[in-house]
Amino acid sequence: MSSSSVTASAVPPRGRFAPSPTGPLHFGSLVAAVGSYLDAKSRGGEWLLRMEDLDQPRTVPGAADSILRALEALGMAWDGPVLYQSGRDQAYRAALEKLKARGLVYPCACSRREIADSAVSGIDGPVYPGTCRKGLLPGRSARAERVLTSSEPIIFEDAVQGRIVHTIERQIGDFVLKRADGFHAYQLAVVVDDAEQGISDVVRGADLLDSTPRQIYLQRLLGYPTPRYAHLPVAVNVVGEKLSKQTLAPPVTTDEPVITLDAALRFLGQAPVTDCAPGDVRTFWAQALAGWRIDRVPRQRTQPAQSA
Ligand code: GLU
């Protein structure tokens, strides 16, 4: 499959929800789940699930199962088996080898501290200044592995946020594909897995908007198709912090699933459901799917959860 010649309308879309199991499902990740589900299912597509448990130090035992149980209780059935990133090391290694064989990857000895001290700040932390591009300095040993980036801009049309133009070399720098702790980086894993799962439509939080150009860049290098992207506003608390485990976002409650789902639906700018009992997920989804309009999703990167 080539990226540009395939028309998305020819085959049913395939979306996905890819939570990191660092805790139970909270409102912020529920929004991504509901948005990706509605986007795929309203067009007769499939909705796949992937557990991003690659970052084992951050993975909390039991969290993956608790997320799956919450989705079930909310009436959100996924298609096919759940893909666990923790079992995918071989595939990530193969992709990395492919890039290495083409001379696109180099070892890097720099510590975070050294980079922070010598770099200008970019859109996602310090821009890597390219210190190890031409080889390791004598006496230094490799910690991470980075991909060579380019000054050619990456341009894409986000279905919610509009046109994005981004020059990776200048705004991010050569980025890490294999981390100093030995784990493959999120950017590599997500690209390999979206291709493996045949994802045509990525709908997720806008906190990942700045990662998308890196992912498109890797897709091009690896010869994978580029999905359509839609980045939803990220739910923030009253002080503007993303709802997450770190900001102590409470788990969503599933005893009255329609109340929980309706809050996510309204957060996404959709018409609320009417005449639906709090436990009647079937009626909720029938109405929500019929009414889904991606052009009603607020074109914002963040939105207070309370405004829902
Ligand atoms: N695992 C990421 C998260 O929970 C999402 C990754 C993605 O959707 O690409 O924030």
Distance 9 CA to ligand 1 centre (A): 25
Distance 283 CA to ligand 1 centre (A): 29
CA 270 to chain centre: 22
Nearest CA to 276 among 285, 268, 267?
A: 285
CB 115: neighbour CB atoms within 10 A? 17
Residue 65: which H helix or E strand, with range?
Answer: helix 63-73
Which three-class secondary structure state does DSSP give residue 170?
A: helix
- Residues 294, 268, 298, 20, Cα dihedral to 10°: -100
Distance 307 CA to ligand 1 centre (A): 23
Structural tokens at position 88: 């995918």
Strands (E), 148-194: 154-158, 162-166, 176-178
- Residues 283, 284, 288, 291, Cα dihedral to 10°: 50
Mutate to test the pocket of ligand 1, among 197, 204, 216, 231 (most ligand atoms within 8 A of CB): 204
Q: Which atom of ligand 1 is nearest to the CA of 204?
A: 8
Distance 202 CA to ligand 1 centre (A): 10
- Its CATH architecture, for the domain 14-89+190-307, is 3-Layer(aba) Sandwich (3.40)
CA distance 263 to 278: 12
Q: Which atom of ligand 1 is nearest to the CA of 194?
A: 9
Contact (CB, 8 A) for 190 and 98 = no
User: pLDDT tens per residue, the chain (308 residues)?
Assistant: 444 444 445 689 999 999 999 999 999 999 999 999 999 999 999 999 999 999 878 889 999 999 999 999 999 999 999 999 999 999 999 999 999 999 999 999 999 999 988 878 999 999 999 999 999 989 999 999 999 999 999 999 999 999 999 999 999 999 999 999 999 999 999 999 999 999 999 999 999 999 999 999 999 999 999 999 999 999 998 888 888 877 778 899 999 999 999 999 999 999 999 999 999 999 999 999 999 999 999 999 999 997 44
Q: Which atom of ligand 1 is nearest to the CA of 19?
A: 4
CB 269: neighbour CB atoms within 10 A? 19
Ligand 1, CB within 6 Å, residue ranges: 18-20, 52, 190, 204, 208
Instruction: Indicate the domain borders of the chain.
Output: 14-89+190-307, 102-178
Structural tokens at position 248: 């102590």
Mutate to test the pocket of ligand 1, among 55, 67, 158, 208 (most ligand atoms within 8 A of CB): 208
Distance 15 CA to ligand 1 centre (A): 13
pTM across the whole model: 0.94
CA distance 209 to 206: 5
Nearest CA to 215 among 205, 226, 206, 199?
A: 226
Structural tokens at position 250: 């409470």
What pLDDT is attached to residue 245?
76
Taking CA atoms, 222 is separated from 62, 192, 217, in Å, by 34, 9, 9
Q: Which one-letter DSSP state was computed for residue 89?
A: H
Which residues are paired to 145 by β-bridges? 107, 178
Per the listing, tokens 């200008």 go with 120
Class of domain 102-178: alpha beta
Cα–Cα–Cα angle for 166, 295, 75, nearest 5°?
Answer: 105
Distance 19 CA to ligand 1 centre (A): 5
